Amino acid sequence: MRDLHVSFRTEEGVIQAVDGVSFSLQRGEVLAVVGESGSGKSVTVGTLMGLTRSPNAKFEGEAWLRTAQDGDGREGLELINASDQQLRRVRGEEIAMIFQDPMTSLNPVQRVGDQIIEQIQAHRDLGDAEARTRAIEMLDRVGIPRAAERARSYPHEFSGGMRQRAMIAMAFSCEPDVLIADEPTTALDVTIQAQILRQIIEMREESNAGVILVTHDLGVVAEVADRIAVMYGGQIVEHGTIDELFYDPQHPYTWGLLGSIARVDRDRPDRLPAISGLPPSLANPPEGCRFRPRCPHAFDACRQLPDLEHRGGRSSDHVDRCFLSDEQKRTVREVDGHVGLMGAGATS
Amino acid sequence: MSENGDQPLLEVRHLKQYFPVKAGVVFDRTVAHVHAVDDVSFDLDEGQTLGLVGESGCGKTTLSRSLLRLIEPTDGSVAFQGNDVSHLSARRLRPLRREMQMVFQDPFASLNPRKRIAQIVGAPLRLHGTPRDEIADRVRGLLERVGLQKEHLNRFPHEFSGGQRQRIGIARALALEPKLILLDEPVSALDVSVQAQIINLLDDLQDDLGLTYMFVAHDLSVVRHVSDRIAVMYLGKLMEVSPAEELYTKAIHPYTEALLGAVPVPDPRENRARKRVAVTGEPPNPIDPPSGCVFHPRCPHATDVCREVEPPLVRYANGHLAACHHPQQVSSQEVRVAERSDQSPLSAGEELPQAS
């Protein structure tokens, strides 16, 4: 994805929901997109599927599914300007999506098995019996007991965890290249959440699909992701591998996020470090760095918008949008012991 | 009796809340009951915070509602400052309602969208007969207390973010100067950076006003930061009640271990290194709970006795209670001196865990 901009015209003015977002995703890789509500993370991934298309939305930039260099014989496709018809072919077949709330994404009056069969037959030339066999096989693979029998159930007869399993079965039924999971475990209980995450990772390993995981839960990220993009105010503010982000974070917003999580494995601090203030309004974003109004370390230069480029950190792929010098960042992180996981066995 | 010998602010004994399941074409017959809260007992001391943790459907929200008598409990007693509130008439209950307030999970659903903030926060004052001319002043003071400004007074709820709305909900709960506030997942709907703000606010309010909290949550990470004691609930019953810190270092009940293991830690290296107890399956149906220990179908340590006998709550050192036939992380010495707690469910068996 290159330099994506998405804006919506609304009664309150133009909302710049996504402002220059670029990233890439390799096969078999899990990219986590992390941010608070209103950071533009869901709009970014929804745009890949054409879900944000509407008369008052405006798109710029491009997103390629497979580039020419990919060399597996299939042609690349640009998704932002693709026709609705092209997109419909891609959806489910090459890019599949799992949503937060499986109850609203499954059809309540159709049997679960039939929904998966419909999905398979929309993209594969299979007879009814073959498609049914495949659907039941998929349900079995995602760990639904007595799959043949449960395929005849309706979604309301499933628990939340089972519905999410059924969604995963449906998503992987056509062996997509890319799976987009938008907060897939947020609505589930912790014990079920752990099961579902393991399931997604297992299915990814079998199918070698690339996974984009949208979430606000850094615990989930630490468990499954390879790389992380932190979004704030419609922009990526920091992007790097999971170890870089957790042990050598460069952006003050990332520090704040890591610092303010209540953790089950840590003694209770006197006060939970909080980021003061509120996320910015996207209709009227602050001038310069988006995080400036909430940033305790902001200085004059921050009135300019910093580019997303390599600044600190060891690998050149670790990029961020913060003007603080490497030196300053190190000092700040040493003084505020709570920032990031500095005290927790980091080597730097 | 509480640990320090004083009377607890809230004393709950054998509280049950069953909901009938009805069926029938012409006449509704009650065919079964949902055992939402099934014989729960605990104490809550003044100025303390009890964290109540469990998965959805375990009865934690129902429990907090029957404590306030927002729903009528089926059986058992709730004593507030020594007065039994579970059998009071509506009129006698009213003055006590001032003392017990609630903050709800969803700040979007719990504020009337057509009322201004001043009206919302002032409503409890009006209902309990505060003179009109005092209300405006009090409301302004309350908003300031929770970190909002007076220019917010005339706005509507939709003009606020989730965190600000939760502050409004807290201001409303504080209006009548209660002793006890039940917080039903007060930060679950909020972004992480805002969660920390609200938790710190609750902490300050408790210190300044001497409030007592019951903090309901669905996982163990947030309650750690607010609780003095933590109760773990599963399928309508208490599995374990422990001093807060001890629960994280010495979980006795296998279900608590499972809950702790299921929470992903935001630290990749520790995550990779961590040995995790995986629970399989999903919580059973509360209409027909399993025999014996309700956790036995999912428990990795379950044996015959777990299938047949409901374990009593057993008291270990430090007032740490657990209802399990196969307690984890306790020495055989500790097991030998452990005794049955008087907060055990009435249906629990006599068997105490055996020292190995």
pLDDT tens-digit profile of B6-23? 788 999 999 999 988 887
In this predicted structure, the answer to whether residue A8 has a pLDDT above a threshold of 60 is yes
Q: Suggest the residue from A163, A189, A257 to mutate for an interface test with chain B (most B CBs closer than 10 A).
A: A189
The reply to whether residue A257 touches residue B262, judged by beta carbons under 8 angstroms, is: no
pLDDT at B203: 92
- The domain ranges of chain B are 10-99+178-348
Nearest to B263 among A264, A268, A345 (CB): A264
Asked if the C-beta of A216 comes within 8 angstroms of chain B's C-beta atoms, the answer is: yes
In which band, very low, low, confident or very high, does the pLDDT at B180 lie, cut at 50, 70 and 90?
very high
The reply to whether residue A222 touches residue B267, judged by beta carbons under 8 angstroms, is: yes
Q: Which residue type is seen at B305? A: V
In this predicted structure, the answer to whether residue B309 has a pLDDT above a threshold of 50 is yes
CA distance A181 to A96: 8
The reply to whether residue B269 touches residue A216, judged by beta carbons under 8 angstroms, is: no
Asked whether the beta carbons of B328 and B295 are under 8 A apart, the reply is no
In which band, very low, low, confident or very high, does the pLDDT at A347 lie, cut at 50, 70 and 90?
very low
Instruction: Return the SS3 of A299.
Output: coil
Looking at the complex, report in whole angstroms how far the Cα of residue B68 sits from the nearest Cα belonging to chain A. Answer: 26
**Sign of the CA dihedral running A240, A241, A244, A249:** positive
Edge-to-edge strand ranges of the sheet holding B339-340: B100-103, B180-184, B212-217, B49-53, B229-234, B237-243, B320-322, B314-316, B339-340
Instruction: Return the SS3 of B206.
Output: helix
Asked whether the beta carbons of B110 and B104 are under 8 A apart, the reply is yes
> What percent of chain A has a predicted confidence (pLDDT) above 70?
89
The per-type count for chain B, helices as H runs and strands as E runs, is 12, 13
Distances A54 to A42, A61, A99, B147, B163 between C-alpha atoms, Å: 15, 17, 20, 39, 30
**Sign of the CA dihedral running A171, A174, A175, A177:** negative
The reply to whether residue A268 touches residue B267, judged by beta carbons under 8 angstroms, is: no
**Sign of the CA dihedral running B221, B223, B228, B229:** negative
Size of interface A-B (CB pairs under 8 A): 133
Q: Suggest the residue from A191, A218, A244, A268 to mutate for an interface test with chain B (most B CBs closer than 10 A).
A: A191
Is the predicted ipTM greater than 0.90, yes or no? Answer: no
Q: Which residues of A touch B255 (CB under 8 A)?
A: none
CA distance B239 to B258: 12
Q: Are strands A95-98 and A178-182 parallel, antiparallel or unpaired?
A: parallel
Q: How close are the terminal C-alpha atoms of chain B, in Å? A: 31
Rg (CA), chain A: 21
Backbone angles phi, psi at B186, to 5 degrees: -70, -20
* Helix, strand, coil content of chain B in percent (nearest 5): 35, 20, 45
pLDDT at A67: 61
Distances A134 to A140, B79, B271 between C-alpha atoms, Å: 10, 59, 35
Nearest to A265 among B258, B265, B282 (CB): B265
- Mean pLDDT on B316-327: 93
CA distance A62 to A76: 12
pLDDT at B278: 66
**Sign of the CA dihedral running B320, B324, B325, B329:** negative
Q: For B69-73, B164-168, B263-267, which range has the lowest pLDDT when averaged over its residues?
A: B263-267
DSSP B280-336: PS----TTSPPSSSTTGGG-TT--HHHHHSPPPPEEEGGGEEE--SS-SS--HHHHH
Asked if the C-beta of A42 comes within 8 angstroms of chain B's C-beta atoms, the answer is: no
Asked if the C-beta of A194 comes within 8 angstroms of chain B's C-beta atoms, the answer is: yes
Instruction: Return the SS3 of B77.
Output: strand
CA distance B56 to B339: 31
The reply to whether residue B268 touches residue A278, judged by beta carbons under 8 angstroms, is: no
Q: Which residues of B touch A264 (CB under 8 A)?
A: 219-221, 224, 248, 260, 263, 265
pLDDT at A339: 44
Q: Suggest the residue from B192, B222, B228, B277 to mutate for an interface test with chain A (most A CBs closer than 10 A).
A: B192
Q: Which of B11, B180, B7 minimizes the C-alpha distance to B97?
A: B180
Asked whether the beta carbons of B252 and B327 are under 8 A apart, the reply is yes
Q: Suggest the residue from B203, B267, B280 to mutate for an interface test with chain A (most A CBs closer than 10 A).
A: B267
Region of residue B292 (left: phi > 0; alpha: psi -120 to 50; beta: else): left
Q: Which residues of A touch B282 (CB under 8 A)?
A: 159, 161-162, 192
The reply to whether residue A190 touches residue B203, judged by beta carbons under 8 angstroms, is: no
- Mean pLDDT on B320-339: 91
Which residues is B13 bridged to in the sheet? B77
pTM across the whole model: 0.81
pLDDT at A260: 73
In which band, very low, low, confident or very high, does the pLDDT at B316 lie, cut at 50, 70 and 90?
very high
The reply to whether residue B55 touches residue A191, judged by beta carbons under 8 angstroms, is: yes
In this predicted structure, the answer to whether residue B192 has a pLDDT above a threshold of 90 is no
In which band, very low, low, confident or very high, does the pLDDT at A159 lie, cut at 50, 70 and 90?
confident
Distances B214 to A53, B171, B184 between C-alpha atoms, Å: 45, 17, 8
In this predicted structure, the answer to whether residue A132 has a pLDDT above a threshold of 90 is yes
Looking at the complex, report in whole angstroms how far the Cα of residue B344 sits from the nearest Cα belonging to chain A. Answer: 26
In this predicted structure, the answer to whether residue A150 has a pLDDT above a threshold of 80 is yes
Asked whether the beta carbons of B86 and B12 are under 8 A apart, the reply is no
Q: Which residues of B touch A36 (CB under 8 A)?
A: 191-194
What's CA B77's distance to the chain center, in Å? 17
The reply to whether residue A265 touches residue B270, judged by beta carbons under 8 angstroms, is: yes
DSSP A141-158: HTT-SSHHHHTTS-GGGS
In which band, very low, low, confident or very high, does the pLDDT at A229 lie, cut at 50, 70 and 90?
very high
Backbone angles phi, psi at B352, to 5 degrees: -100, 155
Q: Which residue type is seen at B83? A: N
In which band, very low, low, confident or very high, does the pLDDT at A345 lie, cut at 50, 70 and 90?
very low
pLDDT at B183: 94
pLDDT tens-digit profile of A316-327? 889 999 888 877
Instruction: Return the SS3 of B130.
Output: coil
Catalogue the long-range contacts made by A292-300 (C-beta closer than 8 Å, 24 or more residues apart).
A294/A253, A294/A256, A295/A252, A295/A253, A296/A252, A297/A252, A297/A324, A297/A328, A297/A332, A299/A323
pLDDT tens-digit profile of A83-103? 888 888 888 888 888 888 777
In this predicted structure, the answer to whether residue B319 has a pLDDT above a threshold of 60 is yes
Instruction: Return the SS3 of B63.
Output: helix
Q: Which residues of B touch A276 (CB under 8 A)?
A: 197
Q: Which chain A residue has the Cα nearest residue B56? A: A189
pLDDT tens-digit profile of A264-306? 666 666 677 777 777 777 777 888 888 888 888 888 888 888 8
pLDDT at A59: 86
Nearest to B267 among A195, A246, A272 (CB): A246
Asked if the C-beta of A232 comes within 8 angstroms of chain B's C-beta atoms, the answer is: no
Asked if the C-beta of A32 comes within 8 angstroms of chain B's C-beta atoms, the answer is: no
Looking at the complex, report in whole angstroms how far the Cα of residue B74 sits from the nearest Cα belonging to chain A. Answer: 27
The reply to whether residue A273 touches residue B191, judged by beta carbons under 8 angstroms, is: no
Q: Which residue type is seen at B315? A: R
Q: Suggest the residue from B108, B161, B191, B235 to mutate for an interface test with chain A (most A CBs closer than 10 A).
A: B191
In this predicted structure, the answer to whether residue B1 has a pLDDT above a threshold of 50 is no
CA distance B56 to B99: 28
pLDDT at A269: 66
Q: Choose the most confident range, by mean pLDDT, from A249-258, B98-107, B278-287, B291-300.
A: B291-300
- Residue B238's CB is within 10 A of a number of other CB atoms, namely 27
Q: Which chain B residue has the Cα nearest residue A280? A: B161
**Third-level CATH fold of B10-99+178-348:** Rossmann fold (3.40.50)
pLDDT at A342: 37
Asked whether the beta carbons of B181 and B10 are under 8 A apart, the reply is no
Q: Which chain B residue has the Cα nearest residue A264? A: B221
Asked whether the beta carbons of B1 and B11 are under 8 A apart, the reply is no
Structure tokens, B238: 């208490």
The reply to whether residue B265 touches residue A246, judged by beta carbons under 8 angstroms, is: no
What's CA A76's distance to the chain center, in Å? 22
Which residues is B86 bridged to in the sheet? none
Q: Enumerate residues 6+ apart whose C-beta is below 8 A from B45.
A: B2, B3, B4, B6, B8, B9, B212
Q: What is the largest CA-CA distance in chain A?
A: 68
Nearest to B196 among A260, A279, A341 (CB): A260
Higher per-residue pLDDT: B201 or A3: B201
Structure tokens, B90: 């509506």
CA distance B142 to B121: 8
Higher per-residue pLDDT: A267 or B50: B50
Q: What does DSSP assign to residue B26?
A: S
Q: Which of A2, A17, A97, A1 minimizes the C-alpha distance to A57?
A: A17
Q: For A36-50, B12-26, B239-253, B262-276, which range has the lowest pLDDT when averaged over its residues?
A: B262-276
Asked whether the beta carbons of B15 and B233 are under 8 A apart, the reply is no
The whole-chain average pLDDT of chain A stands at: 82
The reply to whether residue A222 touches residue B264, judged by beta carbons under 8 angstroms, is: yes
